[in-house]
Chains A and B, each alone.
Chain A
Amino acid sequence: MDRMNSLGAIGRRSIIKTAAAAALAPLAAPTIIAARGETPLRIGMIDPLTGAYAAVARDEVTGAQLALSRVNAKGGILGRQVELLVEDSANDVGTGVQKAHKLIDRDHVDFMIGDVNSAIAQAIAQVSSQNRILHIVSGGHTDGITGKDCKWNVWRVCNTTRMEANSVCGTLFQKYGKKWHFITPDYSFGHTLQSAIEANLKKLGGTVTGAELTPLGTSDFSAYLIKARAANPDVLILLVQGQDMVNCLKQIVQFGINKQVKVAGTQQELESLEALPPQARVGTWMFEWYWKQPGVPHVAEFVADIRKVNNGKVPTARHWFGFTSLYTFALIAAQEKTTDGLKLARALGGFELPPEIKLQPNKVYYRAGDHQLMLSAFVGEAQEHGSDDPDDLFKVDRVIAGDEIAPPVDETGCHLTWPS
């Protein structure tokens, strides 16, 4: 099967050899290296390749690997070839921290990427900042990362929950009504997302009929859905993610709730829609990136490249996260002509992504005040099947620029302290 090949490719540490250097045995490498100037530049990536987020984590790695091969094809970073060392955090904080130490203490990586799981991302950010390593959080959405727990060396590519909330609320309120009910995952991501949406709803003049707090990993949502239906809202807002989103949407459609109540939510992922039976692909959502953008430069090329390494399937937002994270290092290092973490971290403030990386219409840049990437939100409707492509499961209505939906820096709670 093709899939095995692609898994194997991700699984092994991706060591891209310099043109001159012979193959290095991946694990013996650190002891062999004598002088660092001759060696490849190393980027460490920690993502939960096993466990509940395995699918999205692998997509991020695939995206980063595409960026890697493009960067190396253009001569690497500052003339040095680049290696991507991928480590599995196994969706466990202790393992993630251990892998961070491994990458930094033993493999001496120059940059870090990771993790999908916000808790792990924050734990390894602690290690990376202690060691002054420039670190990009590719896929963890909790506000704190670019909010009250922000760090000078940590930048984030994916959205904050506040940005997600701000992107969809207006549309939902105007089109579908003002009584909203929540299905919220019971951990900080869900809580902050819900309160962000509630704040929006209050401003618009709507009411909350209730919120069902569901534990992560809930497989049966029937009890919560019975309560939600009984509250008789206009809109049912699903904030659950991953497999929980799949289970919840599936049961909503089985129960026919979507015929009486508008189903909507913030972040939706292509990975989740693909895991759903066609009739359960319903609702209004926001995507953080979407592959079908006719007329936007370089997108088609990116889609074609990912298809080659992804069993012919289109890229998801996660591919783009991984791709953008790695490419950012290459661009900023080339611009500043250094790999020094502190200098690069300062230079990233206000740094704008070029068209071949941003792959979307609006301006995309790293905001200096809270280290958050200002990426667009793609708001639209899920659909059973695309008209011309089986992977086209989402109809984009609006693409909103990141700085229109991001709260101002002074509302994020981020206070950066720089090392002397």
Chain B
Amino acid sequence: MNAGGRTNRLVLAAIWVVLLAAPFWLNLVGGYTALGSRVLVLGLAAMSLNFLLGFTGVLSFGHAAWFGLGAYGAGLALKFVALSTPLAMLLGTLTGGIAGALLGALIVHRRGIYFAMVTIAFGQVFYYIAYRWNSLTGGDDGLRGFSRQPLAFGPMRVDILNNSTLFYYFVLVCFAVAVGIMALLLRSPFGRTMLAIRENERRARFLGIPIELHIWIAFALSCVFISFSGTLYALLNNFADPNNLYYSLSGDLVIMAVMGGMRVFWGPLLGAAVFVVLQDYVSSLTTNWMSFIGLLFVLVVLFFPRGLLGMLRQRRVA
């Protein structure tokens, strides 16, 4: 992130070229556009989680809850409020962001495994609400009966509903905006404080930094970002279902962040790409794909704890 000179700028340019050209090369390598959209959405979710995990050092294992709340918020807004995609995204982001901020206030004093356990358990509360509040959420059947709406810029209409390539670019724009804000935040004094807390909480405390306040803000921001990605997920599927809030998705997001590299800004995106593509590929080959995904977890933990990009960076430094 820091002034790494030309290499960094080149890498950055390469990332955007690859993402921009994805609809053209994906089909050539046996992919499909919807897969690209999914990578972007889950990649943004993993980056949002990593905003907390990698840059503040706080492990939340229940982030799927805020992702799912964003999805439900967007779906409900499209279904009951107005047929507007931007409004749905705004309301969805607010739903998850506010719920996350409130819960964050309750639990910021916890640390380590206690924090992880409490976030898992509270995440499940929202899962149960989505699962049991049939009249509003559709319960186990999920929330149906809404679809993303074409965008209107004055007289111009962009049909993101029926054209999956256009929708991919729409997701990419949203992704770029969110990631840009995230990068700015991390460069701000607030971002530096987050890093200080991660590196040595006790020292930061002695320096007079209000630790709990900072962790709470980071948690809330992370929830806002991940709800935003959740709204995109609802638009991608035209559907929201309780699995969007289930703890196993939280686990998937954490492994994406770790696999790509928690300490590296772009790590989680790479992790998400590898995870999503691998799952898509292996689950077509064998019904026992869960073993492969499980094995991936084990291998990453044992042999690549710094993640793919983390190792690259280390090698470069060494």
Contact = CB atoms under 8 A, between A and B. Distances in A.
B280 A106 contact: no
A91 B38 CA distance: 18
B267 to A, nearest CB: 23
Interface in B284-315: 284-290
Contact of B241 (A94, A106, A186): A94
Given A30-B30, A50-B290, A188-B138, A87 B283 contact: yes
Nearest to B31: A106
Contacts of A187: 134, 139-141
B164 interface: yes
B175 interface: no
B32 A105 contact: yes
B286 A12 contact: yes
Interface residues of B, number: 40
Interface string A71-104: 0000000000000010110111110011001100
B238 interface: yes
A49 interface: yes
Interface stretch (A115-123, A342-350, A393-401): A115-123
A92 B285 CA distance: 18
Contact of B281 (A7, A27, A186, A216): A27
B35 interface: yes
* Chain A binding surface SS class: helix
Interface in B22-63: 27-35, 38
B139 A186 contact: yes
B164 A101 contact: yes
B142 interface: yes
B243 A93 contact: yes
Nearest to B238: A126
Contacts of B290: 50
Contact of B239 (A101, A106, A123): A123
B230 to A, nearest CB: 11
Contacts of B281: 27
Contacts of A126: 147, 238-239
B138 to A, nearest CB: 7
Contacts of A267: none
Contacts of A385: none
Contacts of B9: none
A101 B164 CA distance: 10
A123 B139 CA distance: 15
B198 interface: no
A122 B287 contact: no
B132 A11 contact: no
B85 interface: no
Residue among A94, A101, A130 with the highest chain B CB neighbour number at 10 A: A94
B131 interface: yes
B124 interface: no
A85 B237 CA distance: 21
A20 interface: no
A409 interface: no
* Chain B binding surface SS class: helix
Nearest to B240: A93
A106 B280 CA distance: 12
B8 interface: no
A13 interface: yes
A10 B287 contact: yes
Contact of B243 (A11, A94, A189): A94
A94 B287 contact: no
B242 to A, nearest CB: 9
Given A98-B35, A119-B141, A119-B142, A92 B241 contact: yes
Interface string A182-200: 0000111101000000000
Contacts of B285: 11-13, 26-27
Contact of B288 (A11, A27, A122): A11
Contact of B237 (A27, A87, A93): A93
B265 interface: no
B219 interface: no
Interface string B64-103: 0000000000000000000000000000000000000000
A94 B242 CA distance: 10
Contact of B280 (A102, A123, A142): A102
Contacts of B131: 215-216
A6 to B, nearest CB: 11
B141 A31 contact: no
Contacts of B286: 11-12
Contacts of A1: none
B287 A106 contact: no
Contact of B287 (A31, A50, A101): A50
B142 A93 contact: yes
B289 A88 contact: yes
A28 interface: yes
B243 A101 contact: no
Given A101-B164, A122-B144, A90 B32 contact: no
B86 to A, nearest CB: 22
Contacts of B138: 119, 188
**A-B residue pairs, 9 tightest by C-beta:** A101-B34, A187-B140, A11-B287, A106-B32, A105-B32, A93-B241, A119-B141, A187-B139, A11-B286
Given A31-B28, A215-B131, 8 more contacts: A88-B287, A90-B283, A92-B241, A94-B241, A102-B34, A102-B35, A123-B144, A186-B132
Interface of A: 7, 10-13, 26-28, 30-31, 49-50, 58, 85, 87-88, 90-94, 97-98, 101-102, 105-106, 118-119, 122-123, 126, 130, 142, 149, 186-189, 191, 215-216
Interface of B: 27-35, 38, 131-132, 134, 138-142, 144, 147, 162, 164, 233, 236-239, 241, 243-244, 280-281, 283-290
